């Protein structure tokens, strides 16, 4: 049986009360905290960095999954590892040396992964599967919370699922963007096991009710 993980994106949390927000969402059943890092260069928005990761780290025991939407990638990786990140993913287009960046993440004691935008070909995984712990399929174009799910992502999830199964390795398959209780089951059916949700969770007053509803949809 597949273990499903819910990974709330704190991009839609109240940044003025971030410690309380991450504690509340974990108490509500979050398995992972998804941490979106945007640099106003690789993506047209600017968010949070290692200092904020370090600040929330003592508030939660669950893994922190750092999604780097930055270019260049490498120089910020050791800082996130020191700040308590557990998983670090990056966009292959943002690294000149993908194998090196994956190795750098692992050498810093974190799990490593690649992120695929709606247009990004999956062949970036060729020859590096042995260094991959997570594949993240974007179901929106990166940069903002609250966008609509792009259905084409389901095909890419299915491709990634096949590649993971063929590899025989233990690799998380995460989907990110526009995930809600009413489409989470479709993403799971395509092969995803880890679900990022920002606005769907933090946009509602009762985080537990949303996460419970997502789990109920996954159990059907």
Map tokens 């109920």 to a residue: 216
Q: Which does 135 bind (CB under 5 to 8 A by kind): Zn ion, ligand DX5, none?
A: none
The whole-angstrom separation of Cα 33 and Cα 149 is: 20
Nearer to ligand DX5, 65 or 133 (CB): 65
Whether residue 79 lies in the annotated active site: no
Return the DSSP state at 169: S
Question: What are the DSSP E strand ranges found in 1-149?
Answer: 5-8, 33-38, 64-69, 87-90, 111-116, 134-138
The whole-angstrom separation of Cα 91 and Cα 113 is: 9
Going residue by residue from 27 to 46, which x/- string records binding to Zn ion, judged by CB under 5 A?
A: ---------x----------
CB of 166 to ligand DX5, least distance (A): 27
Tell the burial category of 109 from Cβ atoms under 10 Å away from its Cβ (0-12, 13-18, 19+): exposed
Among 83, 137, 153, 179, binds ligand DX5 (CB under 6 A): 179
Going residue by residue from 181 to 200, which x/- string records binding to ligand DX5, judged by CB under 6 A?
A: ---------------xxxxx
Map tokens 């398995």 to a residue: 31
Which of 176, 172, 115 has its CA nearest to residue 140?
176
Instruction: Determine if residue 144 is labeled as part of a ligand binding site.
Output: yes
Q: Which listed range, 25-33, 171-179, 185-193, 204-212, lies at the site for ligand DX5 (CB under 6 A)?
A: 171-179
Among 49, 63, 113, 142, binds ligand DX5 (CB under 6 A): 142
Write out the catalytic residue numbers: 36, 176
Interface residues with ligand DX5 (CB under 6 A) are: 9, 11-12, 34, 36, 67, 140, 142-143, 145-147, 176-179, 196-200
């Amino acid at each position: 049986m597949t273990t499903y993980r819910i990974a709330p994106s704190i991009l839609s949390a109240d940044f003025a009360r971030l410690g309380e927000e991450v504690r509340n969402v974990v108490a509500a059943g979050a398995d992972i905290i998804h941490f979106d890092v945007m640099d106003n260069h690789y993506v047209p928005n600017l968010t949070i960095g290692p200092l904020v990761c370090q600040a929330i780290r003592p508030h939660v025991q669950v893994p922190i999954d750092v999604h780097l939407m930055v270019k260049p990638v490498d120089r910020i990786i050791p800082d996130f590892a020191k700040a308590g990140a557990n998983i670090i993913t990056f966009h292959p287009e943002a690294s000149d040396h993908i194998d090196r960046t994956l190795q750098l993440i692992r050498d810093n004691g974190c799990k490593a992964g690649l992120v695929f935008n709606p247009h990004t070909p999956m062949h970036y995984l060729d020859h590096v599967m042995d260094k991959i712990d997570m594949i993240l399929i974007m179901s929106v174009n990166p940069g903002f919370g609250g966008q609509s799910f792009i259905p084409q992502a389901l095909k890419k999830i299915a491709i990634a699922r096949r590649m993971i199964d063929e590899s025989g390795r233990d690799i998380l398959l995460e989907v990110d963007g526009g995930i809600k209780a009413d489409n989470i089951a479709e993403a799971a059916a395509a092969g995803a096991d880890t679900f990022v949700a920002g606005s769907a969770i933090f946009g509602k007053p009762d985080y537990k009710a949303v996460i419970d509803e997502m789990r109920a949809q996954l159990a059907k």
